[in-house]
Structures are given as structure tokens and as C-alpha cells.
Amino acid sequence: MKEFTKVCNFSYCNIPYAMFIDNKDRYFFMRRDNNDNYYYTTYEEQKKLLTVFYRNRKILNIKMGDKLQTVPKVISGTLAMVMTLSMFPGCAKGENVVVKDSSTSQEYNYYYENPYEDKFDFDMDEFVIEDDDFKIDTYREIPGAGDRVMVHDSAYLDDILGTHQATEEEFNNLIDSNSNIPEKYKQLIKDYCHNYITYMPNADRRILYHNLETLKFISVDKMGLILSTFDSASAACYYPVDNSITVLDEYEFKKGTWEYQILFHELSHAARHAMFNQNGKNYEIQSGGYSYNNVILDETLNTLFSIKLLGYDEKDFAYQLQSNYLYAIIESMDNYDLSDYINHSQSYFIAKLNEYIGQKGRSNPIFELIQMQFDDYHDEYISVEQSEYYPIYEFVLDVYCKNRITSGMSYEEAENIKKDLLDIILFDVPEGYQIDTNHIDQCFDNYCINNGIEINKKSL
């Protein structure tokens, strides 16, 4: 039997659902009624909901070539049969799939198609998180999973890593004593720690200090790095499982270079992510969480955090478009600081963003859509109409203009703010994204009208 934890209630197209998570952080959905009784969804419903929580498609781990089967699970003390996948080949695209209920031996037939070829045609306005059930991640013990403990907030590190915040001298001594760090990287890491303490004094240092004690560097050639990262443009990659950074041996990582920035990026992962065994418990410390976990949000938060530590102005970001969005958002928020990336989970960021815009549940699906836009660009099996991404532009515009445009402004003054936003969003964005700036212009005009600003097209 596998136990599941309820994450949140939500509604889609006026149908109430609940999201659950198992001890491997895999999600799935069930229908619910007003009394919190749960009912099975159809296979097509699961696929539809997966488009909203797209990056978490490990909910069912649907991949071409997988077979479906059902296994018993325990949900709130009630035995239920939920479709999951066994990871073995045998089902090609377009074949009939037999799903067998292991408790009754009853078989169900589904026509299996590659879900990545489907249009992701969902209406963002129909998706509403019910915030009463949305939890900010803190600390979670998972019984029956090897004493696995998930930590999503630095407030819970006292009993694990102690309370001491290391000084710069202690960091330098630790780096010098770690023989797994080659000499060519030691000064760079010392510079990183100096900037970390100087520019982010409120960021917790305990995870970084813990990881630097055993951090090792693995040098590989270009092909070795590609095989490790599946990214031909990568220069390094941090792996929390064994606390290592794989680096391309030929790079010198000089200050001001892309490679230097990438190593700061990977060190910032090591400042927030850790996996280790201590006193019989397997700890996983991460910025993601069980209420909200989005890969692109973690990467962009990490990118902006590491850029802040460089000590010089840099607009050439990793995950360029997605980081541009987030830069415009964070530069607007007055209730979130980049040190919060180290100290808190993604759920904390989402909660603070919802608080800033004053609209419960709006931020969550936007970042799923940003994730989808990223995957759309990189995955040949995904093809989404540009109009599906309009909610992103509308959201970023609303956030950026919230405290910048006032009813007393002229249209010309407001236009300069829109121009600044477009300069941020469009900086160095690959052409393949095809950002619809005409729609942004239309949204901007509507924003001005709603704020009592008379539109004067003569300024154009």
C-alpha cells in the first residue's frame, strides 16, 4: 500500500477536484464533492489537468512506450484504485491499452496516443486554486520512505545543521581544507562566498557551508558534459544526490564570462539544495515543495539570485525569457527579497506574489504556463498556439505596472513604463518564442483605460 497526502483543493471548469501526492512526490487528481468524498476521474480528465500542472506530468509519468496498470493506494484511510504507470515498453502510439484493476481483475480499454501531440487548449480563467488548502511548505516527515524528511524552509534547520551562521573566514578555511575541490576553482568559490555574505546578508548560510565541506568537482570533456546534462550549451551542473559539480574541463571560468556566471548558478543550487543522511534520517532540503514545485521557477529564482552575487551588471541570463519574466516580477514586488529563495520554498514565493497582486490563486497556473512555454520551445512534440500564452503577458504586465502606473499619469508617461517592460521581457530572447507584442500593446491600452488614463495614439 502507498499512502497519499492531500495537497490542495481546486476547481477547473466549475468541477471540484483535489490533488494528492505520494511519497515519491508524484501527483494525481480526483473529483470531490462538498463533503470531501473523492471519485475517480477519467483518463482524459487526468490528461487535461496535467496540462495545468504540466511540469509535474510525473503525476502519471505518461511517456510514449509506457503501459498503464492500476495499483492499490490508501487515500485518507480509504482503499482506492488509481491509474499509474509501470515503466516498461510495449505500447506504441495509437495502440489500444488494457488497464487492469488488480483488485477485481476487471479490464478497461483505452486508446493510447502521445499526449505531447495534443493541443494544450485549457482556459486559464477556469482554473482556481482554493487558497484555504494551499500550504506554504515547511517540514515534512514521510513514514515508510526510509525515514525521509523534506525541509522547505530554513526555520527548520536548527535541529539538523545547528544555529551557527559561518563567517567568511570559516568558509575560506573550509574551502582550503576540501581536497575534492581543485585549486583552480577555490578562489572562485571564495569570491562567491564573499559576495554571498556581502550582497545577501539575510540569506541562510548553513546549507552552503554544509555542502562545501564535501563538495567535489568532476571534470569531463564536452561529450561527457552533454551526457551528464543533456544540454549542449551547459558549462557545469550541480547534482545534490552526491553533492558534486560536473564541469567542462576546458573552461577557465574567468570573471565576466558566461562560464563564470554558470558556476555561480550551480553554487547557488548548492546553497539551497542538499541531500544527506544524518542520525538515521535521509534529509532532502530543497526550494521546491509538495504544495508547489516547478522546475523553471526554481531555475529562474536561482538564476536571479546568482546574478545578484556576481558583483557586476549582467542581463544575459540562463533560461533567458523565463528569467526575464521573473526579473520584471521580482523587481516589482515589495514583499519578497531574493534572499527568500534561499530561506523559503517556491510555495512561499507563490504566496507572496498572490499577496502582492491581491488575487488568490492567480500566480500558480501562470508559472505552469511559463513552464509549458519553455517546454514548447524545446520539445518537438509540443505545439501550442501563441494565444495560449497571452495570460503570461497579461500577468507580467499587471505585476510590473501595479505600482508604476497611476491614474494621474499621461499616456506618454505610461508608455515609457511599457517600453521599459518590453526591454526586459524581450532582451536576447530566441526568435522561436515569437512573443506577440501586439497583444501586450492591447493589454497595456486596456490597463490604461481601467486606470483612467486617456489613450493618445499620437505619441506613437
- Residue 52: its pLDDT value, please? 58
Helices (H), ranges, 236-308:
258-270, 295-308
pTM of the model: 0.75
Q: Average pLDDT for residues 280-303, to the nearest whole number? A: 88
Q: Sheet of 236-239: strands edge to edge?
A: 216-220, 244-248, 236-239
Q: Average pLDDT for residues 405-413, to the nearest whole number? A: 91
Length of the chain: 460
Query: Using one digit for the tens of pLDDT, what is the confidence trace for 251-267?
Result: 888 899 988 999 999 99
Q: Average pLDDT for residues 93-104, to the nearest whole number? A: 37
What cell numbers appear for 291 in the block? 504544495
Q: Average pLDDT for residues 141-165, to the nearest whole number? A: 84
Q: What is the DSSP string of 291-347?
A: S---HHHHHHHHHHHHHHTSSS-----SSHHHHHHHHHHHTT-SS--THHHHHS-HH
Q: Are 236 and 247 in contact (CB under 8 A)?
A: yes
Query: Using one digit for the tens of pLDDT, what is the confidence trace for 295-349?
Result: 899 999 999 999 999 999 999 988 999 999 999 999 999 999 999 999 999 999 9
Contacts of 290 by beta carbon, 8 Å cutoff, 6+ apart: 5, 7, 21, 25, 135, 137, 140, 150, 152
What cell numbers appear for 419 in the block? 517600453
Which residue would you say has higher pLDDT here, 232 or 20?
20
Domain ranges of the chain: 3-122, 151-286, 313-459
Query: Using one digit for the tens of pLDDT, what is the confidence trace for 154-194?
Result: 999 999 999 999 999 999 999 999 999 999 999 999 999 99
| SS3 of residue 26 by DSSP | coil
193 vs 191: CA distance, rounded Å: 5
Which residue would you say has higher pLDDT here, 99 or 54?
54
Across 90-99, 160-169, 337-346, 445-454, least confident range: 90-99
